[in-house]
């Protein structure tokens, strides 16, 4: 892991999307899905992915094969445990509403939260 | 009638080709961008493949092309920034001499005693494929360098009767240069003691060869020309 990361709005967007995918167990996301979700341009998203990969907050892997036959395989991204902790810290500081709304949201997000940020009495 | 049908077919084919051309062009463009954008070849290859898949995912032929152009524009900007970031180094080393290393220009030299006939010294030099003659004393210490111009000016028939030492310039401390001298330091050393030849010695004290001022001039001139060719707009 290198020095402190420069926190920008596109970075927060990408982190939010990846964290959401992690919380909702939506699976790994490919570049186009991240672009669509963040509504950011390709170079911006990939610039952020480069930085996040460099500091070890996300990890990428190639899919075995594209679901559409004959199409090139895509690279899928997921947030790493370090990334989850880091992203929550950064989002708490910069976009508390985003985190709060997700905390209140129903679904499987809550148990995962408790898992990452252990509270007293929670096993 | 037939012409109309043919025109219809041809128009259809052309339109089809154009539709195919957009995504093809976009894929080529993103591959090109990835290799320009990332200096690390591993990452560049990875991104090139990944972005090709991304273009495939992106719906709409025109949008595919627009996305690819965005990637290309970003790659060009990043390349430009990288070039600017590298510029101060170039500026500091704007002296083209910076990479001219004296050792690389050293002429191989043979060592002969001062009383060796010039013809014999030249014969030995040719035999050893050397291009310089250094005069040594009885203790094998270098004491002079035979001047190339003086040798050229001596008629061949007189060479057996002239001692090599007679055409040598006595070695002053300023004419002895370390073999790893390079760039501006090399220029300064030459400027301080102008001469046609210098003795290059290794840190161990061993003779490395002879550095001819003419060779240094040529090396510098070549570098300057190469630079001008590489950056014509700056001149």
User: Which pLDDT value is given to residue A107?
Assistant: 42
Strand order in the sheet with B176-178: B176-178, B197-201, B207-212
- In this prediction, residues A79-107 reach a mean pLDDT of 76
Contacts of B152 (CB under 8 A, 6+ apart): none
The per-residue pLDDT for B83 is 83
- pLDDT (0 to 100) of residue B76: 92
Check pLDDT > 60 for residue B90.
no
> Residue B227 has what pLDDT?
67
> What confidence category does residue B232 fall into, taking pLDDT thresholds of 50, 70 and 90?
low
Q: What is the predicted pLDDT for the residue at A114? A: 37
- In angstroms, the separation between the Cα of residue A99 and the nearest Cα of chain B is 29
pTM of the model: 0.51
Partner-chain residue, chosen from A31, A41, A73, that has the shortest CB–CB distance to B70? A41
CB neighbour list of residue B78: distance below 8 Å, 6 or more residues apart:
B36, B37
CB count, 10 Å around CB of B14? 10
**Range in A114-118, B4-8, B89-93 the model is least confident about:** A114-118
Is the CB of B70 less than 8 angstroms away from the CB of A66? no
* Shortest Cα–Cα distance, B53 to chain A (Å): 5
DSSP states of B200-224 as a string?
A: EE-TTS-EEEEEEHHHHHHHHHHHH
Give the pLDDT band of residue B87 (cuts 50, 70, 90).
low
CA–CA separation, B126 and B17 (whole Å): 68
DSSP state, B115?
A: T
Among residues B180, B111, B173, which one has the least CA distance to residue B145? B111
Q: For chain A, say whether B207 makes contact (Cβ under 8 Å).
A: no
Q: What is the pLDDT of residue B72?
A: 92
- Mean pLDDT for the stretch of residues A97-107: 59
Calculate how close chain A gets to B88, using CA atoms only, in Å: 24
- Start-end of H helices in chain A: 9-23, 31-38, 42-54, 81-94, 96-104, 109-116
Segment B163-170 shows an average pLDDT of 87
User: Taking all residues of chain B, what is their mean pLDDT, rounded to a whole number?
Assistant: 82
Q: Is B44 on the interface with A (CB under 8 A)?
A: no
Does domain B98-225 sit in CATH 3.10.580.10?
Answer: yes
> What is the pLDDT at residue A122?
40
Q: Rounded to the nearest 5°, which phi and psi values hold at A8?
A: -125, 170
pLDDT digits (tens, 9 = 90+) for B56-86: 888 888 888 888 999 999 899 988 888 887 6
- Per-domain residue ranges of chain B: 2-92, 98-225
pLDDT value at position B73?
92
Question: Would you kindly state where each structural domain of chain A is located, as residue ranges?
Answer: 9-112
pLDDT at B235 over 50: no
Helix intervals (H) in B2-114 = 2-37, 41-57, 61-92, 102-105
| Banded pLDDT at B231 (limits 50, 70, 90) | low
Residue B40 contacts A, CB cutoff 8 Å? no
Name the pLDDT band for A109 (thresholds 50, 70, 90). Answer: very low
Record the tokens describing residue A53, joined without a space. Answer: 């990969």
Whether A111 has a pLDDT exceeding 70, the answer reads no
A70 torsion bin: left (phi>0), alpha (psi -120 to 50), beta (else): left
Are the beta carbons of A74 and B53 separated by less than 8 Å? Answer: yes
- Give residue-wise pLDDT tens across range B105-144: 888 888 999 888 999 999 988 888 888 889 988 888 888 9
pLDDT in tens, A41-76: 888 999 899 888 888 888 888 888 777 888 888 889
End-to-end CA distance of chain B: give it in Å, rounded.
63
Domain A9-112 class? mainly alpha
Determine the Cα–Cα distance for residues B135 and B167; give it in Å rounded to an integer.
Answer: 10
């Amino acid at each position: 892991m290198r020095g402190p990361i420069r926190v920008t709005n596109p970075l927060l967007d990408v982190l939010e999307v990846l964290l959401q995918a992690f919380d909702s167990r939506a699976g790994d996301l490919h570049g186009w899905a991240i672009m669509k979700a963040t509504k950011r341009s390709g170079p911006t998203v990939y610039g952020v992915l480069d930085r996040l990969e460099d500091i070890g907050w996300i990890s990428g892997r190639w899919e075995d094969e594209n679901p559409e036959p004959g199409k090139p395989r895509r690279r899928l991204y997921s947030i790493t445990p370090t990334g989850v902790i880091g992203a929550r810290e950064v989002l708490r500081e910069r976009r508390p509403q985003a985190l709060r709304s997700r905390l209140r949201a129903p679904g499987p997000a809550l148990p995962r939260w408790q898992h990452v940020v252990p509270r007293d009495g929670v096993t | 009638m037939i012409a109309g049908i043919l025109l219809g077919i041809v128009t259809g084919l052309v339109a089809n080709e154009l539709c195919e051309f957009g995504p093809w062009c976009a894929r080529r463009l993103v591959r090109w961008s990835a290799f320009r954008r990332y200096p690390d070849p591993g990452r560049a290859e990875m991104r090139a493949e990944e972005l090709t898949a991304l273009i495939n995912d992106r719906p709409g032929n025109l949008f595919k092309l627009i996305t690819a152009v965005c990637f290309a524009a970003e790659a060009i900007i990043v390349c430009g920034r990288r070039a600017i970031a590298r510029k101060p180094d170039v500026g500091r080393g704007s002296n083209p001499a910076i990479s001219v290393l004296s050792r690389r220009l050293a002429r191989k030299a043979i060592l002969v005693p001062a009383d060796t006939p010039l013809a014999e010294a030249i014969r030995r030099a040719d035999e050893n494929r050397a291009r310089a003659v250094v005069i040594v004393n009885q203790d094998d210490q270098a004491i002079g360098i035979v001047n190339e111009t003086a040798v050229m000016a001596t008629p061949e028939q007189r060479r057996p009767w002239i001692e090599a030492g007679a055409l040598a310039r006595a070695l002053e401390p300023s004419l002895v240069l370390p073999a790893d001298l390079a760039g501006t330091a090399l220029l300064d050393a030459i400027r301080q003691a102008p001469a046609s030849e210098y003795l290059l010695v290794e840190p161990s004290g061993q003779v490395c060869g002879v550095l001819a001022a003419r060779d240094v001039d040529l090396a510098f001139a070549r570098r300057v020309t190469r630079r001008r060719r590489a950056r014509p707009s700056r001149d």
